[in-house]
């Protein structure tokens, strides 16, 4: 089989110095070489950026195991990236760029450790040559240890419960997602310095709390894993129903969260809740395309065109849920929510939804992880399964709940149930209150439209 033309174009980049291109430059084709070199530089930069995206998490993880903290590991990795950006455009992208970056960073880590140890042991008399060899071996073994374990260690460290939620999210996207501070700031619609500060503070908190780079075990592992899953789902949710701004959904954030979830499910394939979270995100993401109307307005679940749901993601989600259920034992909160999502995914039309089963699943969620938001969701399901009056009773019980005081979906759900009961005047007030409580523009418009519809129905009805 001969290599196609596109392949040989690429290889001229990777071997720019030894191939015909280098000879051409040397032979004095001065007229086109600057342009060609510029193009090659731009291409090498793009390639380097892509390689960074692929390698950075593994790189930082491997280094963090050696040096012990995320901050130093990230600095070493960044230094290696800078070296790559300097060298690759001229010398070509190496055949194994990941190994190159790791090798470069490893040398710097080695120097750093040597300097640290020199400080620690300045009174001891140790043959410098001997020390070098031994430490060289230590660093080598540490860096070549199980990459999966390293990644897990990094995930647990970035999502450590000692950190505030905001900090965990920012640090995770930065060191595991390979996103820049600018990209994170854009995604969360906050100023760049805010994110930069969050990350700096998070690293300091980890250092001050002496958080070790390790995969936690036993009871600590349960708490740590819950914290990891929470971070991933927070990222997903910010993309799935943005709390602020002019976009109703931001798919890129959902994709980041899904990617992190899929990686985690590969690293710990026997944790039902990891699979449960992945299943939940896959199924919810299958509706992304159907959740937005032609002018960017939100389309709620029961009004969506189900033909636009992504069958591939549904299939992947159902498969992950099957695997979670197959591991045995009672389902956790994420797997239960995935099971609820699967009820919707399996219904060909909204009318075919198995609401009694959804109510039963919400009962189980409420038992495991009771929260006012779960109660509110349960009330919606009860309203669908057993009529709006039954749903309204449950919602009314939540009205005084302090944690839902500024939660726009409480009045939105209440408005919806009141509307179904024909109590239009109250429904209008609830929808307007809901609209005043959200900062997301398309969602606010939708709620205001509902209020207008109810007002009109009151006039005609």
Partner 1 sequence: MRVLIMAKEGEQSAAATPPTPEAMAEYQKFNDELVKAGVVLEAGRLYPSSQSKRVRFDGKKRTVIDGPFAETKELVAGYWLWQVRSIDEALEWLKRAPYDGGTFEVRQVLEYEGM
Q: Which stretch binds partner 1 (CB under 8 A): 20-28, 67-75, 227-235, 292-300?
A: 292-300
Q: Is 26 in the site for partner 1 (CB under 8 A)?
A: no
| Count of residues engaged in binding partner 1, rule: CB under 8 A | 35
Shortest CB 245 distance to partner 1, Å: 14
Shortest CB 58 distance to partner 1, Å: 9
DSSP for 14-28 reads HTTTTSHHHHHHHTT
Name residue, tokens 């993880």.
61
User: Which CB, 152 or 157, lies closer to partner 1?
Assistant: 152
Q: Is 10 in the site for partner 1 (CB under 8 A)?
A: yes
CA–CA separation, 10 vs 174, rounded Å? 30
**Candidate list 255, 325, 354, 457; residue touching partner 1; CB under 8 A:** 255
Q: Are the beta carbons of 163 and 205 closer than 8 angstroms?
A: yes
Q: Are the beta carbons of 265 and 240 closer than 8 angstroms?
A: no
Q: Which stretch binds partner 1 (CB under 8 A): 48-56, 104-112, 221-229, 408-416?
A: 48-56
Q: Is 42 in the site for partner 1 (CB under 8 A)?
A: no
Q: Is 289 in the site for partner 1 (CB under 8 A)?
A: yes
Between the alpha carbon of residue 148 and those of residues 58, 73, 151, 257, 266, the distances in Å are 8, 17, 5, 18, 9
**Candidate list 6, 31, 270, 348; residue touching partner 1; CB under 8 A:** 6
CA–CA separation, 441 vs 248, rounded Å? 8
Q: Is 259 in the site for partner 1 (CB under 8 A)?
A: yes
User: Which CB, 201 or 262, lies closer to partner 1?
Assistant: 262
Q: Is 116 in the site for partner 1 (CB under 8 A)?
A: no
Q: Name residues contacting partner 1, limited to 225-254 (CB under 8 A).
A: 249, 251
* CA nearest to 230, candidates 139, 145, 293, 166: 166
Output helix, strand, coil percentages for the chain, rounded to the nearest 5: 75, 0, 25
CA–CA separation, 430 vs 416, rounded Å? 9
DSSP for 143-182 reads HHS-HHHHHHHHHHHHT-TTS-HHHHHHHHHHHTT---HH
Shortest CB 230 distance to partner 1, Å: 19
Which residues are near partner 1 by CB under 8 A? 1-4, 6-7, 10, 46-47, 49-51, 53-54, 97, 148, 249, 251, 255, 258-263, 266-267, 288-289, 292-294, 296, 312, 316
């Amino acid at each position: 089989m001969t290599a196609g033309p596109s392949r040989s174009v690429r290889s001229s980049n990777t071997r720019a110095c030894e191939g015909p291109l280098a000879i051409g430059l040397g032979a004095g084709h001065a007229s086109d070489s600057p342009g060609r070199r510029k193009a090659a530089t731009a291409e090498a930069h793009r390639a380097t950026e892509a390689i960074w995206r692929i390698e950075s998490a593994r790189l930082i993880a491997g280094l963090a195991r050696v040096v012990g903290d995320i901050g130093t590991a990230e600095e070493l990795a960044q230094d290696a990236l800078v070296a790559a950006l300097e060298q690759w455009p001229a010398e070509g992208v190496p055949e194994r760029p990941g190994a190159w970056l790791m090798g470069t960073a490893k040398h710097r880590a080695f120097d750093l450790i040597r300097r640290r140890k020199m400080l620690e042991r300045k009174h001891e008399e140790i043959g410098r040559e001997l020390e070098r060899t031994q430490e060289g071996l230590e660093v080598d073994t540490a860096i070549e240890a199980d990459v999966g374990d390293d990644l897990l260690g990094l995930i647990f460290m970035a999502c450590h419960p000692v950190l505030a939620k905001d900090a965990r999210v920012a640090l995770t996207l930065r060191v595991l997602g390979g996103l820049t501070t600018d990209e994170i700031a854009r995604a969360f619609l906050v100023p760049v310095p805010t994110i930069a500060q969050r990350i700096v503070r998070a690293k300091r908190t980890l250092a001050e709390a002496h958080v070790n780079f390790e995969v936690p075990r036993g009871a600590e592992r349960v708490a740590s894993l819950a914290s990891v899953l929470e971070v991933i789902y927070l990222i997903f949710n910010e993309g799935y129903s943005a709390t602020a701004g002019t976009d109703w959904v931001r798919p890129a954030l959902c994709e980041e969260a899904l990617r992190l979830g899929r990686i985690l499910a590969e690293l710990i394939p026997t944790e039902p809740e990891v699979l449960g979270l992945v299943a939940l995100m896959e199924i919810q993401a299958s509706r992304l395309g159907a959740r937005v109307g032609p002018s960017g307005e939100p389309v709620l679940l029961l009004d969506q065109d189900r033909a636009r749901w992504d069958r591939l993601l549904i299939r992947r989600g159902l498969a992950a849920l099957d695997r979670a259920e197959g591991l045995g034992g009672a389902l956790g909160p994420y797997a239960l929510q995935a099971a609820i999502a699967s009820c919707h995914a399996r219904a060909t039309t909204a009318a075919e939804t198995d609401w009694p089963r959804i109510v039963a699943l919400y009962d189980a969620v409420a038992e495991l992880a009771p929260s006012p938001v779960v109660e509110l969701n349960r009330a919606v399901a009860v309203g669908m399964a057993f009529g709006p009056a039954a749903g309204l009773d449950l919602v009314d019980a939540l009205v005084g709940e302090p944690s839902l005081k500024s939660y726009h979906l409480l009045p939105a759900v209440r408005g919806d149930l009141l509307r179904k009961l024909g109590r239009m005047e109250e429904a209008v007030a609830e929808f307007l209150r809901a609209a005043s409580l959200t900062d997301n523009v398309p969602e606010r418009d939708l709620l205001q439209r509902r209020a207008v519809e109810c007002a009109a129905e009151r006039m005609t009805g």
